[in-house]
């Protein structure tokens, strides 16, 4: 069991934390040509669920995750978080909302090399203007939670690949996100480190009731989730329960 720490917050929001509604995304390929990537995606996610998004390379998995995380805007459709269509926000409000509501873990950790593990973790809270005492405490708690309490002042180059990704997970959680989004989070790790990271993500999600959406090519990992969303040719082929 995880300790009773300050990241853990009771939540009285609706069971449906996320709705993806008729989502379309296309990209220009020339003066008048467009490449459709997503062709009408609809699904819902309940509070605390783990959702795996799977499918062949190039079907739009990462594009879908980036739209859910408001890193890009759709050409059509919407994303509702707690009943609010986030694409109605202007640029500044959307950036602030994304910082406080959504946590990201990417395949490459994207840690800032000149800062320590602790400093990398607390960076989103600093950007969000939170009170220093609170986020420093939470940064240390997160380091303990991901098993790196003794590595607080180590810079990324002094950490293994698996340790760097654990720092990235802690950073993603520092602002109490409503959604944690992970895009092939173990794709750059060896098998042992990948399994360790998967176990950590699942443990955190279950113990903290943290909603997690993960893009993965790992079928075994996907089958550990609560639902598997299979994409093919820019559409949902199946939205199913895992085959356990």
Distance CA 170, CA 85 (A): 27
pLDDT of residue 213: 93
pLDDT exceeds 60 at position 13: no
Under 8 Å between Cβ of 84 and 13: no
pTM score, whole prediction:
0.86
Under 8 Å between Cβ of 18 and 195: no
Under 8 Å between Cβ of 231 and 60: yes
At 30-69, the pLDDT tens digits run: 777 888 999 999 999 999 999 999 999 888 999 999 999 9
Under 8 Å between Cβ of 109 and 169: no
pLDDT of residue 4: 44
pLDDT exceeds 80 at position 1: no
Compute the residue count for the chain.
244
pLDDT exceeds 90 at position 19: yes
Q: Which CATH architecture has domain 46-74+96-240?
A: 3-Layer(aba) Sandwich (3.40)
At 196-215, the pLDDT tens digits run: 888 888 888 888 888 999 99
User: What is the DSSP secondary structure assignment for residue 177, as one 8-state letter?
Assistant: -
What is the chain's mean pLDDT, rounded?
85
At 78-115, the pLDDT tens digits run: 999 998 899 999 888 898 888 888 998 887 778 899 99
At 127-178, the pLDDT tens digits run: 767 778 878 888 898 888 888 888 899 999 999 888 888 899 899 988 888 9
pLDDT exceeds 70 at position 11: no
- Count H helices and E strands in the chain, helices first: 7, 10
């Amino acid at each position: 069991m995880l300790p009773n720490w300050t990241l853990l917050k009771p939540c009285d929001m609706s069971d449906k934390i996320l709705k993806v509604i008729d989502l379309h995304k296309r990209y220009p390929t020339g003066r008048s040509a467009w490449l459709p990537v997503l062709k009408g995606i609809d699904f819902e996610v309940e509070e605390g669920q783990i959702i795996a998004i799977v499918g062949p390379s190039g079907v739009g998995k990462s594009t879908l995750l980036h739209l859910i995380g408001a890193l890009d805007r759709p050409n059509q459709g919407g994303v509702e978080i707690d009943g609010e269509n986030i694409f109605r926000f202007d640029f500044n409000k959307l950036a602030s909302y994304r910082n406080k509501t959504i946590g990201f873990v990417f395949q490459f950790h994207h840690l800032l090399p000149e800062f320590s593990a602790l400093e990398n973790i607390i960076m989103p809270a600093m950007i969000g203007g939170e009170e220093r005492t609170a986020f420093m405490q939470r940064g240390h708690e997160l380091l303990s939670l991901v098993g790196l309490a003794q590595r607080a002042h180590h810079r990324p180059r002094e950490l293994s690949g698996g340790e760097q990704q654990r720092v990235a997970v802690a950073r993603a959680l520092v602002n109490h996100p409503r959604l944690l989004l992970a895009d092939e989070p173990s794709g750059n790790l060896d098998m042992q480190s990948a399994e360790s990271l998967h176990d950590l993500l699942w443990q955190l999600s279950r113990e903290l009731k943290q909603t997690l959406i993960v893009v993965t090519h790992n079928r075994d990992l996907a089958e550990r989730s609560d639902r598997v969303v299979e994409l093919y040719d820019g559409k949902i082929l199946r939205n199913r329960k895992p085959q356990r």
